[in-house]
Structures are given as structure tokens and as C-alpha cells.
Amino acid sequence: MFRCRLTRMLRIAFHRWMSLLCPAVMLVISLQTTNAMAGGETYKKVLPSTVWIITANGEDQTSTGTGVFIDADKKLVLTNAHVVGDSRTAVVFFPEKKNGETMVKRKQYLDSVLKLAQPGRIVAVDRKRDLALIELAEVPERAEAIAMAETSVTTGESVDLIGNPGGSDVLWVYTSGTVRSIYQKKFKSDHGEHDFRVVETQTPIKPGDSGGPVVNQAGELIAIAQSFSPSQNLVSYCVDVQEIKAFVKSPWKAAPLGTKVVLKNAEVDFELHSTGHYEVKQKLASGTTQSVFVAKDTEYFQRADVRKVWSLVSVSSDEPSAELMMRLMRQNSATKIGGWVVEKNGAGEFLILYVAKLDATAPDEAVAASIDYVARIAGAMSKQLKSKTPEETKTESSTQTLASWLAK
């Protein structure tokens, strides 16, 4: 009797619970269906503005990524600086349709480069913001420039993305998520040092998605995909639309050419060193040669790009004497390009190097001249260290020494 009464009570409770739960379940299903429909419409709206980008840098390494068409009059495509690297040109594909459906296979585009690709010229790069602009010669009629949002997105809003993830055979991949936070972020990545307003999202961004449009529910650009967190699953970083607008309005500056290209253009003979840098064996007037190295990658601070040139003069287990350090300091006040540097390597040895840092956008001839200058200074010091004692050189002024070195 008690068991029957208990069973009846449980049955009544269950039906009451289901009567409360069903409307909530229906509401969730309804919201999911509505969001799915909204995502589909957003995808259709944004796809004509999305592009696939292929570039090749000075090392003949191919890079691919995503971009977004932002200006129909100027024929401009926006992407990440790390997508274009030090390239001067790019190949850009817009989505194509066949039999009424969007072509999504990469091979379809690669097999029809002459017919489908649009050549582009990289006209501006900002590595701090990790942004770049590509100017196209022609734009397909089907392409549509995306509208930029007036203001930044807010935390908690839903966003949609389109990208071209590497490791996949297909392009124009859609994903969605939510905005976790918006803040100023200063950080280092494989592509350099960055400092920009970040839109942090809960979305799966992969290599190849970089530069892809991140849009609000109205299909307006609120950011572009930049990178993903190596430690937090599905956490991605995007460059905010306010940074994009500031970049487009700022004076345009192209990225410096790759070191290999510059050396070739300057007709400088070089070899690829085991460190990955370029070694130039510069002949001196004395008949000897002095090895000068040019860094493979350029350095930068904000929008200032720097190319490093150096030569090793001495390696010793003994710390440089006070007299030698004073000589190097006096020389630094008299040299026109660069200066002496003392470093300690992992083996505990002291290295004396002459290092010059020049504008990475300087003409090829300037790089060749800097290599020659560094070789002369380093070669002369190397000779003095081997042939003279500190007492013999203390009476010579830094200006006199420098003049005698450069005269040889």
C-alpha cells in the first residue's frame, strides 16, 4: 500500500517537473534554431568580402592566410602582417561559384590560378598591430567590400568568423563564438612583438584563419583573426576594428625586403651560415678577409624597422681588461655607424663584436656600404688586438685610430 502511494507521488512529481522543463527545452531549441539561421545569413553576407591569400617571402617560403575586402574604390584587402611577411606581392582568391554553389576545394582554385587569381601589391604593413594592406589591380564584380562597425563589440556578444584553416582541403570555413573580453594586449609571438586592442573570443581559430573577418550579427567587421592561445582551448585573439581604422588612416609603409633579396640586389656575395644568418666574407685592402654577418630577420620598434649587421673580432675566456673596455667606449663615440659590443656566450666566453643597426628600408647600396664599414672597423681592431699591447695603443686617440683604420 505504501509502495503504491509512493509510486503515485513520484509519477505526479515527474509530470509536474516535465511540464516545467518542456517550455525551457523548447526555448533552447528555438534559440539554437534562430542562431543557426542568423549564422547562415551572416555567412552569405560576409563571404563575398572574404579572400584567400598566398604569398612568398624572400626565402622563397610560401605563406597562406585569409583576408577581407574593405575598400571597393581603392581595391584594398586587409589581412595580418604575419600573413604577408616581407613579401611585396600576393595572390588573392575571391570565392567562386559553380552550378550555383560556392567552390570550396583548394585544388579547384590552385588548378585555375590564371583564371581565378587576382594579383596584389602589398602597400602597407604595421607589425605592431599585425596588420597589412594589399592593393589589387582588379576586383571581380561579385566581390563586395565589407562594412566596418562604428564601434567596438562588447563582451558577451556573439560573433561569426570565416577563415581558410591550414591542414584542410576546403576554404571559406565558418565558425562562431562569443566575445570573452576586450583589452589592450602587449605580447610576443612567433611573428614578433605586438601591442594592440584585442578582442578575445571563445572561437576555434587555426593557422590559415589569420586575417579572416570577425563580424557581429549585422555582418559588420568588428575585428580580424590574429592568433590563438597555446594554453587555453578555443581562446583566440583578434585585432579590434578601432585598430584597423587607425591603421588604414595612418601613413602607409611597406615591410622591408628580406635580407636575401637585399644582398642579391646589392650584388653582395654571401653564404647561408648554420645559424640561419647570412655571412659575407669581405675582402680588405690588406688582402685579408673579415666575416660580416647580416641578420636573417629584421627587428622593429613600433613602426621603425632595423636590419642588424655585425662582425666578431675576439673570443676569449678572459674578461676584457679595463684598458680595452675604455678603448672600445672611446671608439664608440667616434664611429659613424654602429658600435662595439661585449657579450658572454653560453660557454662563459667573452665575445667582442662590432654591431651596426641600420634602417631596414634603406637602399641596397646602403646595406653594402654598411657591410664594408663594419668589416673595416672589425678587421682593424682584430689586427690591433693581435699585434699591439694596450700600452702601445693607449697614446693613440680614438679619432686617430678610427681615421687610420678607415684609410686602409
Please check whether residue 3 lies inside any domain of the structure: no
> What are 124's three cell numbers?
602597407
- Taking alpha carbons only, the member of 372, 188, 211 closest to residue 294 is 372
Q: Are 49 and 31 in contact (CB under 8 A)?
A: no
At 139-179, the pLDDT tens digits run 999 999 999 999 999 999 999 999 999 888 999 999 999 99
270 in the same domain as 171: no
H runs (alpha helix) in 47-129 = 81-84, 106-110, 113-116
Which residue, of 198, 227, 249, is where some domain finishes? Answer: 249
Rounded to an integer, the average pLDDT of 11-39 is 47
Q: Is 284 exposed, middle or buried (0-12, 13-18, 19+ CB in 10 A)?
A: middle
DSSP class of 144: -
Q: What is the DSSP letter of 234?
A: T
Residue 370: give the domain boundaries. Answer: 259-407
Amino acid found at 180: R
- Distance CA(362)–CA(92), nearest Å, equals 28
User: In 10 A of CB 90, how many CB atoms?
Assistant: 27
Residues 80 and 98 reside in one and the same domain: yes
pLDDT band at 277 (very low <50, low <70, confident <90, very high): very high
Q: What count of other Cβ atoms lies within 10 Å of the Cβ of residue 255? A: 23
With H, G, I as helix, E, B as strand and everything else as coil, classify residue 348. Answer: coil
Is there a single domain that holds both residue 187 and residue 312?
Answer: no
Out of 222, 249, 276, pick the residue that ends a domain. 249
State mean pLDDT over 77-85: 95
**Rounded-to-integer distance, Cα 71 and Cα 51, Å:** 13
CATH of the domain at 271: 3.30.1460.10
Q: How many CA atoms lie within 13 A of 408 on its CB side?
A: 19
Other Cβ atoms closer than 10 A to 80? 27
13 part of a folded domain? no
| Same domain, yes or no: 82 and 187 | yes
- pTM over cut 0.85: no
Residue 74: phi, psi to the nearest 5? -90, 0
334 and 393 both lie in a single domain: yes
Number of domains in the chain: 2
DSSP annotation string for 248-313: HHSPP-PPPPPHHHHHHHTT---EE-TTSSEEEEEEPTTS-EEEEEE-SS-EEETTEEEEEEEEEE
Establish if 383 belongs to a structural domain: yes
Strand 339-344, strand 350-359: pairing: antiparallel
**393 and 342 housed in the same domain:** yes
Residue 77 lies in a domain: yes
Residue 335 lies in a domain: yes
175 and 225: one domain?
yes
The reply to whether 234 and 361 lie within a common domain is no
Residue 166 counted as domain residue: yes
Among residues 229, 249, 269, which one ends one of the domains? 249
pLDDT per position as a tens digit, 96-117: 999 999 999 999 999 999 999 9
Give every CB contact of residue 51 below 8 A, 6+ residues apart in sequence: 66, 67, 68, 69, 77, 92, 93, 94
Does residue 221 contact residue 79 with C-beta atoms inside 8 Å? no
For the domain that residue 53 is a member of, what is the CATH number? 2.40.10.120
Lowest mean pLDDT among 263-277, 280-294, 344-358, 386-400: 386-400
Query: 115 and 166 share a domain?
Result: yes
pLDDT score for 384: 83
pLDDT for 24 equals 43
What angle in degrees, to the nearest 10, is found between the helix axes of 398-407 and 322-332? 70
Check whether residue 290 and residue 220 sit in a common domain: no
Q: Reduced to 3 states, what is the DSSP secondary structure of residue 361?
A: coil
Alpha-carbon distances, residue 398 vs 61, 274, 326, 332, 387 (angstroms): 45, 35, 10, 9, 18
CB contact at 8 A, 260 and 59: yes
CA 270 – CA 280 distance, rounded (Å): 5
Three-class DSSP category at 207 = coil
Q: Does residue 19 have a pLDDT over 70?
A: no
Residue 25 lies in a domain: no
Average pLDDT over residues 353-374: 92
Evaluate whether 50 touches 212 at the Cβ level (below 8 Å).
Answer: yes
Q: Is the pLDDT of residue 357 over 90?
A: yes
Same domain, 83 and 228: yes
Whether residue 380 is found in the same domain as residue 336: yes
Burial degree of 83 (CB within 10 A; 0-12, 13-18, 19+): buried
Residue 199 maps to a domain: yes
